[in-house]
Amino acid sequence: LDGKVMSLDVEVSKEHNPRQADRCDRVEITLRSRGPVIRAEACAADPYAALDLAVAKLAARMRKEHDKRRTRRGSERLTAAEVAERVPGTAGLNED
């Protein structure tokens, strides 16, 4: 995170739904940073289990955002001839 996080909000609530009696504790985590706002939520029977699930989801989403930013940086378009030059064994494919 390296100091990029501006705020982290954690909200714990109880769901009163008799059809989902085994999933009654909900945890919502919102992370605001210099980049995008990342949000994760999870439900479980135990608030600590719900927190663990939400943290795992948040970590996966943070990793996804980091990878997105990493792959787009420094990307350049290549022509078909440049691609053929870089791939071994395709040197004579573009010639007629």
Q: What is the pLDDT of residue 17?
A: 75
pLDDT at 33: 86
Q: Could you read off the pLDDT of 25-42 as tens digits, one per residue?
A: 899 999 998 888 999 999
Q: Is residue 25 within 8 Å of residue 46, measured between CB atoms?
A: yes
Q: Confirm or reject CATH 3.30.160 for domain 5-86, answering yes or no.
A: yes
Q: Rounded distance, CA 6 to CA 34, Å?
A: 7
Q: Which parts of the chain sit beneath pLDDT 50?
A: 96
Domain positions in the chain = 5-86
pLDDT value of position 65:
84
pLDDT value at residue 38: 92
Are residues 10 and 27 in contact, defined by beta-carbon separation less than 8 angstroms? yes
pTM of the model: 0.64
